[in-house]
Amino acid sequence: MPNSSSISEFLLLAFADRWELRLLHFWLLLGIYLAALLGNGLIITAVACDPRLHTPMYFFLLNLALLDLGSISTTVPKSMANSLLDSRSISYSGCVAQVFFFVFLAGAEFSLLTVMSYDRYVAICKPLHYGTLLSSRACATTAAAAWGCGLLSAVLHAANTFSLPLCQSNAVNQFFCEIPQILKLSCSHSILREIWATAAVVSLASVFFVFILFSYVQIFRAVLRMPSEQGRHKAFSTCLPHLAVLSLFLSTAFFAYLKPPSISSPVSDLVVAVLYSVLPPTLNPLIYSMRNTELKVAPPRSHLLATS
């Protein structure tokens, strides 16, 4: 039986044996990848080039777009290349890099979504103090803290995952190096270290979740007390995109990593992995631009985003 020191590469999931199906898989992923690049790239361009969008909300949105670009670029291009080359292999160092960067970017995204809920809380519940509580320095500090949380999570998980001896095989039953699938290759008695690492990250995520929940309880209470129906509608419209993105991220990611083994199957694992790793980076720009009037009236480059 192989162990981690003797493995030089991993074998990823093969989608199809026929060339026509592999080509279809390539073009499908290419279309999704280009849509994600276009949507997130236009958001970055719009926020960077339009002075009217130089506000805390759009600063955090720019960071979210950067994280989404990095996240989908970590997983999809390798799967596309394997489809064209009729290969399943990924080097050991490449697999480590995929795990590290994916966990880093996903952890930073969850932390950033928590910060964005605080931004909405201050904007709606404490509008007179918005400029003070979310100054340029405060925004830069909180964004850096979000990226730092992702980095800490990535170091912790990557170190624990790849220090475990692999006793089964080198075949990862997923289209990218996903931690739950790699752990299935590990010796059962050695998995306790990863359980402790997961528990630490889940505990931190629970704190973030409670903070988000508290923020939105206060937001809804403040909105419901507004005398103007137009004011309530405007306040809710600024929160709905964030809530939609947050719900999509949490529901798919938590289910992927915390679902009971009894309901796990190759098909369900693949579907859930696509839902939390591919769809959010593609749909987030559309969700944020769909009803955003400020992006719609931005310069021509960002106007493309609102009409795409």
Is residue 3 domain-resident?
Answer: no
Residue-number span of the structural domain to which 100 is assigned: 9-307
Query: Is 22 a residue whose pLDDT tops 70?
Result: yes
SS3 content of the chain, % helix, strand, coil (to 5): 80, 5, 20
Whole-number pLDDT of residue 285:
87
The answer to whether the beta carbons of residues 164 and 191 sit under 8 Å apart is: yes
Whole-number pLDDT of residue 250:
74
Query: What's the CA gap between 57 and 115, in Å, rounded?
Result: 10
Query: What's the CA gap between 110 and 64, in Å, rounded?
Result: 10
CB atoms under 10 Å from CB of 282, counted, come to 21
Q: Encode burial over 200-232: b for 16+ CB neighbours within 10 A, e otherwise.
A: ebeebbeebbeebeebbeebeebbeeeeeeeee
Which phi and psi angles does 175 have, rounded to 5°? -80, -5
Query: Is 301 a residue whose pLDDT tops 50?
Result: no
Kindly give, in sequence order, each residue whose CB lies less than 8 Å from that of residue 130, ignoring residues fewer than 6 positions away: 56, 122, 123
Is residue 291 domain-resident?
Answer: yes
Whole-number pLDDT of residue 261:
62
The answer to whether the beta carbons of residues 62 and 139 sit under 8 Å apart is: no
How many domains, in total, are found in the chain?
1
Which has more confidence, 104 or 207? 104
Whole-number pLDDT of residue 303:
43
Is residue 1 domain-resident?
Answer: no
Query: What's the CA gap between 274 and 252, in Å, rounded?
Result: 9
Is residue 293 domain-resident?
Answer: yes
Tokens for 168? 């089964």
Query: Is 297 a residue whose pLDDT tops 60?
Result: no
Which has more confidence, 243 or 100? 100
Whole-number pLDDT of residue 72:
95
Tokens for 196? 């402790």
Is residue 67 domain-resident?
Answer: yes
Is residue 129 domain-resident?
Answer: yes
Separation of CA 121 from chain center: 22
CATH code of 164's domain = 1.20.1070.10
Query: What's the CA gap between 172 and 180, in Å, rounded?
Result: 10
Whole-number pLDDT of residue 192:
63
Nearest to 38 by CA among 279, 282, 292: 282
Quickly state the pLDDT bin for 187 (edges 50, 70, 90): confident
The DSSP code for 175 is S
Average pLDDT, the chain: 83
Q: Encode burial over 283-298: b for 16+ CB neighbours within 10 A, e otherwise.
A: bbbebbbeebebbeeb
Which pLDDT tens digit goes with each residue over 205-227? 778 888 888 888 888 888 888 87
Q: How far is CA 225 from CA 211, 231, 301, in A?
A: 22, 10, 38
Secondary element (H or E) of residue 301: helix 300-307
Query: What's the CA gap between 233 and 15, in Å, rounded?
Result: 46
Strands 9-11 and 89-91: antiparallel
The answer to whether the beta carbons of residues 176 and 100 sit under 8 Å apart is: no
Is residue 114 domain-resident?
Answer: yes
The predicted model gives 218-240 an average pLDDT of 80
The predicted model gives 264-273 an average pLDDT of 78
Quickly state the pLDDT bin for 85 (edges 50, 70, 90): confident
